[in-house]
């Protein structure tokens, strides 16, 4: 057994050539992208996100509301975890957790965050970047009340917090097996959005 702090694996043991070959043989972008009419892309990222979320649900994408949330800690070390999207509207993308969690501490130190949605069966991804704001206490308490009794059992209501990522940039990406991927980017410009296709 390897001593604490040792992996017991040497460089020779990792067989990078074999792993590289194995990974290259795996299929990539194996899903089927739905039609995308670039002339019909809306002017607001929330509208397009809701359209894409609806398509993901109609195509039975498993857990389309699951997202990877990325933050950084006080030292600048990045962190990520999978969360469930609670809501999305013109105010931003909402999620919830306890203020005393690791993510809560990181958001207290640095309010910048990113969300990533990956819907493999339809070869679509959405990335959201922005700053995070706390919702009102009433909204946080309402979110907690909507959870099951078992999920609420050990949660301090004063600690439960609903946050929103207020987006500054939203990128929609649709993959293609011929590598001619489509990308639609929205950048915030004051109260408006600049869209690039």
Which residue numbers belong to the known binding site for FMN? Answer: 81-86, 103, 173, 183
Quick one: which of 167, 184, 177 has its CA closest to 46? Answer: 167
Residues 130, 92: Cα–Cα separation, whole Å:
9
6 burial via Cβ count (<10 Å: 0-12, 13-18, 19+): exposed
Cα torsion 192, 33, 173, 27 to 10°: value is 170
Annotated binding-site residue numbers: 81-86, 103, 173, 183
Residue 93 has a CB neighbour count (10 Å cut-off) of 26
Residue 80 has a CB neighbour count (10 Å cut-off) of 13
């Amino acid at each position: 057994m390897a001593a604490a702090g040792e992996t017991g694996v040497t460089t020779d043991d990792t067989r990078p050539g074999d792993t590289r070959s194995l990974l290259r043989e795996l299929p990539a972008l194996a899903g089927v992208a739905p039609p995308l009419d670039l002339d019909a892309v809306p002017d607001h990222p929330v509208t397009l996100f809701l359209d894409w979320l609806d398509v993901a649900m109609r195509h039975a994408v498993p857990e389309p509301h699951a997202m990877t949330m990325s933050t950084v800690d006080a030292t600048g070390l990045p962190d990520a975890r999978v969360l469930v999207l609670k809501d999305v509207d013109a105010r931003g993308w909402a999620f919830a957790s306890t203020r005393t969690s690791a993510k809560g501490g990181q958001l207290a130190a640095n309010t910048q965050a990113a969300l990533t949605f990956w819907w493999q069966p339809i070869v679509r991804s959405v990335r959201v970047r922005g700053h995070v704001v706390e919702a009102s206490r009433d909204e946080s308490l309402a979110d907690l009340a909507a959870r099951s009794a078992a999920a609420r059992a050990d949660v301090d209501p004063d600690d439960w917090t609903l946050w929103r990522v207020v987006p500054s940039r939203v990128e929609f990406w649709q993959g293609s097996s011929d590598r001619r991927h489509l990308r639609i980017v929205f950048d915030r410009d004051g109260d408006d959005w600049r869209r690039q296709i």
